Structure 1
Amino acid sequence: MTSALVAAAPAVVGTTASGAQVVSPLVKVRPGEALHGRRDARLSVARGECEATQVVLPAHAAHPKVEALSLSGPGTALKASVWREAFVDVKTPSNGEGKPGPWPDALVPVEAPIQASDANLPTVLFVEVCAPEKQAPGTYKGELRVKTEGAAPAPVPFTVEVQPFALPASSSLPNSFGVSLYSIARGHGLSPESPEARALLREYGRALLEHRVSAHGMSMTPPPVRFEDGKAVVDWRAYDAEMGPFLDGSLLPSGARFTTAEVRDSKQASTDAEKAAYYRAFVEHFRKKGWPAQLFFYAKDEPKPEDVPLVQAQAKRVRAAGGIPVLVTSPLDDALRGSADILTPTLNCFYPRPGPQTCRNVLTARTLRGHLPKSAKVWWYQSCNSHGCNGGPPEDAAVDAAYSGWASYMVDHPAPLNRAMGVLAFSSGVDGELYFDTVFAYNTKKDVWTDVFEFGGNGDGTLFYPGTPARLGTSSHQPVISLRLKEIRDGLEDYEYLRLLTELGDGAFAQAAARRLARSGWDITRDAGEWEAVRQEVTARLRKLWASSEYAKRPGRQKPDSTP
C-alpha cells in the first residue's frame, strides 16, 4: 500500500524545485502538471507483496545515479529496486479521455542512456519494495540517495511497514495473458530459433509471473506426438523444459506458479480420435506432474457467425478427451450455446450504461451465470470495445462517453483505470481474466519505443518494451516492464486483500471497499488519495482479523498458497 497523499504546496513538473517529491504510483507524472507530493516515502506492504512509489527529481537533476537502497528493521534488511521512467509520445489519443504528448510508461534501468526525446522531460524514479512471505513484520527504514550532474537532491527518507498478514505467491484469480517467442525475437532483432531468444522468452515469462500474471502462447510449439493403438505417445521433454518451471513453482523463490495453461493443438493429430487422445495425454501429464494449473482449450477467438460450426466441432473434440474446459471469447450467444465451459465476454458486456452500448448483449455477471450450466466459468477480457477501436475522440459526444471511463490498459489513461480490473473482478465475482497479448507491437514494423498505438488504443496488446543492448546500454537483451504492468499487479494484489478479508469473515466490508473504488466497469474513482485511504482501512481491518485467525497461530504465521 502506498502512502496516503498529503496536502502540500503544489509544484509544477519541470520547474526548478529544490527537493525531490514523493508521488503516488497512481499519478502519472507528465510535464507541466502540478503535483502534490511529500518529502518522504511511507509504504505498507503485506508479506508476499510488492509496493512502489515515485520519486520526482528536481528539473536540474540530470543523469541520476542511485545508491542501493536498503531498509533496516526487525528482520532481514529489505532491498529496493529502482527504475527510471521513460516516456511515450502519444500522437493519437486512445479516445476523448486521453491526451496527446509524452506519457510515462517504460521502466528502464536508471543508468540507461537518456534518449533525446526524454531530455527535457521530468526525471522520475520508480522505487519498489518487495517483502518475502517469511519477512518479519514491523517497521523498516532507510534513505534513497541520488547523485546527479546538477545539485544532488537531499536524501529521501523511506519507511516501510511490513504487515503480519501474507498474500499467496500465486494469483488467487486465474488469468492468462498472451506472449509470443516470435514477437519477442522480432522486437529484439533475434532469430526465434536462437538460444538467446529462448532464454529471453523465459525472462518475459518470469516478468509476468513476478507480476502475478500467467501466460499463454510462449513458444507455441506443441509437443511431438505419435499414435499407437489409438493412444497418444507424447514426447514431453521440450515442453517440460519450457513450461515446467512456471508450473511447478521452481522458477521464483516465492514458489509462484502459472494459474493456467492452454493446450497447444498439434497438426500431428489429424483425426477426431487422435485429437481426443492427444488432449487426454495433456490431462494425464499434468496429473502425473502434480501441476495445479487450470488447463484450457482456447477456441477460435471472437468467433463470427461463420465460425460457429468450427467452435462447435472444437468443443466436441476436446470434451471427448475429458478434463479440459473450452474457452470461448464471446458474449452470450444462442448460436454458441453449449460450446463454452469458460465463457469470456469483453469487460463492457458486463455493465449496462446510459447511451450507446458497446457490446451486443450486455448482462451482469449474475444474470449471465443464470444462462449457463452450473459448472461453467465466467471470465472476461479487455478489448478496443471499451476504449474505441478507431482512436481519437469520436465526433459524437455520446459515443465518446460510451467508450470513456472503462478500466483500461492504455498508456494515456489514468493509472486508477489501469489498476481497476482486480477490484472489479472481486466485486463482480468473475472467475478469471484473459488478455490477448503483451508484446503485440513487437510484431509490427514500427519502433515500439515511440509508437504503441494499435486497435485504436495506445498500448493495446503491448505491456512490455524491447530492452535491447543498444537501447539500454546493457550487455544483453532484457524485457522492459511498463508502468501499466505494475498497475495490473497492484490490482491483482487488491483482489488478494479483498479476498483475504472475505475469507477472514468480513466480506461485507470488502464489498463496500471495492464499491468505493469502482462502482462499475466504467465508473471508477480517479482520486489516488481515495484509493490509498481505502487500502489503509482494509489493511487495518486485516491486521485485526489476522491476529485472531487460525493463520496467525500457524508456525511461521504464513497463509498457504491458494493457487487454483
Structure 2
Amino acid sequence: MVAAAMSATQQEPQVLSPLVKVRPGDAVKGRKDARLSLARGECEAVQVALPGKVEHPSVEPLTLKGPGAAMKASVWREAFIDVKTPSNGQGHKGPWPDALVPVNAPGHDPKLPTVFYVEVCAPEKQEPGTYRGQLRVKAGSGKPVPVAFTAEVQPFALPATSSLPNSFGISMYSIARGHGLDPESAQARELLRDYGRALLEHRVSAHGMSMNPPPVRFEKGRAVVDWSAYDAEMAPFLDGTLLSSGARFTSSDVRDNKQAKTDAEKTAYYRAFAEHYRQKGWPAQLFFYAKDEPKPEDVPLVKAQSTRVRAAGGIPVLVTSPLDDALNSSADILTPTLNCFYPRPGPQTCPTVLEATALRKRLSGNTRVWWYQSCNSHGCTGGPPDDKKVDAAYSGWASYMVDHSGPLNRAMGVLAFSSGVDGELYFDTVFAYNTKKDPWKDVFEFGGNGDGTLFYPGTPNRVGPSGHQPVLTLRLKHIRDGLEDYEYLRLLSELGDAAFARSAARRLARTGWDITSDAGEWEAVRQEVTARLRKRWAESEYAKGPGRQTPQSTP
C-alpha cells in the first residue's frame, strides 16, 4: 500500500496507503487488494486509485463479512484544491487532494486523478477476526472491476472518547455563512450539530459551537441561568448520546456573557457554569479561554480574567502563550505553540523553547500543559522565503496544511504521546467560511493552505441532491488516525510495554520537526505495535473480563 512507480499501461485499480497524497502526474503503484487491520472501536482506510482519465467514476457498496456482524464501508471521492501560494518550501503550487465528496458529486474533472477513500469502522463490540468483501469500482460505462478487501479486527479495543483531551474551534455563524444560510435558522443549528458530530466521530472535541451564552439574571448576588437552549445544543456531545459508541467531548469552553457586567456577576455566572456541569455529571473538562495569544499590553486583562474565573472555583484558565513570567501565574492550562517544545538550530521561532518536562518544572504543580499548531509550523507569510535558513526553520514540523504530506498531517498524536503533553488546542476548523473567498477555490490563510479550515461547505451545488452537509478532508482523517496512534501507544504502555511504545513513537517522529515521511514505515511501525498489543492484551485481565473492555484514561 505504498506509493512508487507504476507502468503507464497498467489499468488495474491501485490500493494505496491513506498517507499518500496522489497528485496529477504522480506515478503510483500500490497493491491489487486492500488489507486493513483495526482495533475494536477504530476506523481504518485505504485509497483506491483508478489509472488514466476516468469519466463518471462510481462504486458499488462494500460489505465485509466474517465471524461477527457485517461491516459496511464508507466511500468518498477525493476532490482537489488548487494551491496558488505554497505554504512554505515543502509545499507546491497546483492541485492537491483534500476534500472528501460523495462519489457521485458533480464536478469531477477526468484530467485529475480519480481516487476513492474507503474507510471501515469496527464498533467496540465487533467480534474479532477476519472479514472479507469486494469493492467494485467502475469507470464510465465500463464493467465493474472488483478490488478484494480483507479487514482483520483485533481483539483489543480503543475507547470511544479520546484519551488525549483536545479542543478545536468551530462557529455556527461561520458555518451559516459558508452555506449561505441564516445563522438564526433551525437549518443552521442542525448543520452545526452535523459538523460537531463529524468532529466527534474523528475523536475531536469542539469549543465555540453556536457561541451563544445561556441567558442569565442575578438575584442577591446569585446567577440564575436559563440552560434550556444551551443544553439542547450541548448535552448530546457531553452525555454520550449523540453517537452509538457513547463518545463524548473531552472538553468544553465557558461562554462569556455580556449580561454579567461586574466582576462579582461574572464570577457568579462562572460558578453557575461549573455547578451546572457537576449537576449534569458531564466529565468534560470545562475551561475558560483567556485572551488569545496575549500581547504585553493584554497582560492586565488576562490577570483580571483569571482572578474572576478562579474565584468561581472548578474552572481552569487556558492561556495560549509560551513560558512568560508575566502570565504563568494566571494560567491553569498553559498552551504554547508546537515549536516552543522542540529546540532546533537556526533562526528561532519561539521566544522560550522548552521540552514539556522542562516546562513543567518551571510551572506550579497543578498547571497542565497543552499545545497547539499555528503559522509557526509553516511560516506566517506563505511561499518559500528567500532566506533558506528561515525556510528550514519553518519546515518539517507537524502540520495541518493541504500542501504538506500525510505523515506531517498525522504526526501530532505520536508527538503528544512521546512528549507527554496533557492536551491539544486548535483555533478553528471553518475559518475560511467567514472570509470573502470561496473555500473551494482558496483556503490560504495565515501563510498556509488550510490553516484553521478542516472542512469544506457541502452545499447542494457541490455535493448534489443530498443537501447541505460538512465535507470532510483528508487532513481531518489524518488527525483522527494520529489520535488513534496515541491510543495504541497509550494502551501498549498501560499493558506494560512502555519502552517499546516510546521506541516506536521515536521511529515515526524524533522531534516536532523531524518526522518520518515514508508511508511504508508508518505501516511497518503500526504492524509491530499491533503485534505487541495482541500479545499483551491476551496476557492481560482485560482480555478475560466481560465484554473485553479496554482500560480507560481520564481526560
- Scaled by the length of structure 2, the TM-score of the pair is 0.99
2:301 is equivalent to residue 310 of structure 1? yes
- Among 75, 83, 86, the residue aligned to 1:90: 83
Identify the residue that residue 536 of structure 2 maps to in structure 1: 545
**What is the CA–CA distance in structure 2 between the aligned matches of 1:41 and 1:407, rounded to whole Å?**
28
Amino acid paired to 1:382:
Q
Identify the residue that residue 428 of structure 1 maps to in structure 2: 419
- For the 8 Å contact 2:396–2:513, the answer to whether it is kept is yes
Identify the residue that residue 42 of structure 2 maps to in structure 1: 49
**What is the CA–CA distance in structure 2 between the aligned matches of 1:481 and 1:332, rounded to whole Å?**
35
Identify the residue that residue 277 of structure 2 maps to in structure 1: 286
- For the 8 Å contact 2:53–2:110, the answer to whether it is kept is no
Q: Per-residue CA shift, 1:242-297, capped at 9, x if unaligned?
A: 00000000000000000000000101111111111111111111111010000000
Q: Per-residue CA shift, 1:422-455, capped at 9, x if unaligned?
A: 0000000000000000000000111100110000
Identify the range of structure 1 (450-459 vs 52-61) with the bigger mean alpha-carbon deviation: 52-61
TM-fit CA distance, 1:543: 0.2
TM-fit CA distance, 1:476: 1.9
- For the 8 Å contact 2:40–2:153, the answer to whether it is kept is yes
**What is the CA–CA distance in structure 1 between the aligned matches of 2:470 and 2:89, rounded to whole Å?**
31
Q: Note the 1:489-528 alignment, pairs <5 A.
A: 489-528=480-519
Identify the residue that residue 348 of structure 1 maps to in structure 2: 339
Q: Note the 1:21-170 alignment, pairs <5 A.
A: 21-115=14-108, 118-152=109-143, 154-170=145-161
**What is the CA–CA distance in structure 2 between the aligned matches of 1:17 and 1:356, rounded to whole Å?**
47
- For the 8 Å contact 2:67–2:130, the answer to whether it is kept is yes
2:537 is equivalent to residue 536 of structure 1? no
**What is the CA–CA distance in structure 2 between the aligned matches of 1:391 and 1:119, rounded to whole Å?**
30
Q: 1:253 to 1:502 in 2, by over 3 A?
A: same
**SS of match in other structure, 2:204:** coil
**What is the CA–CA distance in structure 2 between the aligned matches of 1:210 and 1:357, rounded to whole Å?**
37
Amino acid paired to 1:11:
M
**What is the CA–CA distance in structure 2 between the aligned matches of 1:387 and 1:481, rounded to whole Å?**
22
Amino acid paired to 1:74:
P
Identify the residue that residue 197 of structure 2 maps to in structure 1: 206
Q: Per-residue CA shift, 1:105-135, capped at 9, x if unaligned?
A: 00000000124xx331000000000000000
- For the 8 Å contact 1:209–1:257, the answer to whether it is kept is yes
TM-fit CA distance, 1:59: 1.5
Aligned positions, number: 555
Amino acid paired to 1:46:
A
Identify the residue that residue 11 of structure 1 maps to in structure 2: 6
**What is the CA–CA distance in structure 1 between the aligned matches of 2:388 and 2:54, rounded to whole Å?**
42
- For the 8 Å contact 1:411–1:459, the answer to whether it is kept is yes
Spell out structure 1 runs of 4+ moving beyond 4 A: none
Identify the range of structure 1 (242-251 vs 150-159) with the bigger mean alpha-carbon deviation: 150-159
- For the 8 Å contact 2:175–2:430, the answer to whether it is kept is yes
TM-fit CA distance, 1:5: 3.7
**What is the CA–CA distance in structure 1 between the aligned matches of 2:365 and 2:336, rounded to whole Å?**
17
**What is the CA–CA distance in structure 2 between the aligned matches of 1:229 and 1:477, rounded to whole Å?**
46
TM-fit CA distance, 1:49: 0.2
Q: Note the 1:169-180 alignment, pairs <5 A.
A: 169-180=160-171
TM-fit CA distance, 1:17: 2.9
Amino acid paired to 1:353:
R
- For the 8 Å contact 1:225–1:232, the answer to whether it is kept is yes
Amino acid paired to 1:49:
E
Identify the residue that residue 277 of structure 1 maps to in structure 2: 268
Q: 1:321 to 1:385 in 2, by over 3 A?
A: same
State, as a whole percentage, how many aligned pairs show the same letter.
79
Identify the residue that residue 225 of structure 1 maps to in structure 2: 216
Amino acid paired to 2:6:
A
- For the 8 Å contact 2:176–2:183, the answer to whether it is kept is yes
**SS of match in other structure, 1:441:** helix
- Among 442, 463, 468, the residue aligned to 2:459: 468
TM-fit CA distance, 1:149: 1.2
TM-fit CA distance, 1:550: 1.0
Amino acid paired to 2:35:
R
**SS of match in other structure, 1:103:** strand
**What is the CA–CA distance in structure 1 between the aligned matches of 2:10 and 2:380, rounded to whole Å?**
40
**What is the CA–CA distance in structure 2 between the aligned matches of 1:103 and 1:152, rounded to whole Å?**
29
**What is the CA–CA distance in structure 2 between the aligned matches of 1:514 and 1:105, rounded to whole Å?**
26
Identify the residue that residue 181 of structure 1 maps to in structure 2: 172
**SS of match in other structure, 2:329:** coil
**SS of match in other structure, 2:73:** strand
**SS of match in other structure, 2:264:** helix
TM-fit CA distance, 1:548: 1.1
- For the 8 Å contact 1:84–1:110, the answer to whether it is kept is yes
Tell me, which stretches of 5 or more residues in structure 1 are unaligned? none
**What is the CA–CA distance in structure 1 between the aligned matches of 2:377 and 2:128, rounded to whole Å?**
41
Q: Note the 1:405-424 alignment, pairs <5 A.
A: 405-424=396-415
- For the 8 Å contact 1:501–1:542, the answer to whether it is kept is yes
- Scaled by the length of structure 1, the TM-score of the pair is 0.97
**What is the CA–CA distance in structure 1 between the aligned matches of 2:218 and 2:296, rounded to whole Å?**
34
**What is the CA–CA distance in structure 2 between the aligned matches of 1:329 and 1:534, rounded to whole Å?**
33
Q: Per-residue CA shift, 1:10-44, capped at 9, x if unaligned?
A: 226xx453110000011101111122301000000
**What is the CA–CA distance in structure 2 between the aligned matches of 1:52 and 1:561, rounded to whole Å?**
25
**What is the CA–CA distance in structure 2 between the aligned matches of 1:93 and 1:64, rounded to whole Å?**
30
State the superposition RMSD in angstroms.
1.1
- Among 283, 286, 311, the residue aligned to 1:295: 286
- Among 461, 477, 488, the residue aligned to 1:486: 477
- For the 8 Å contact 2:213–2:255, the answer to whether it is kept is yes
**SS of match in other structure, 2:364:** coil
**What is the CA–CA distance in structure 1 between the aligned matches of 2:554 and 2:117, rounded to whole Å?**
29
Q: 1:563 to 1:59 in 2, by over 3 A?
A: farther
**SS of match in other structure, 1:121:** coil
Amino acid paired to 1:146:
V
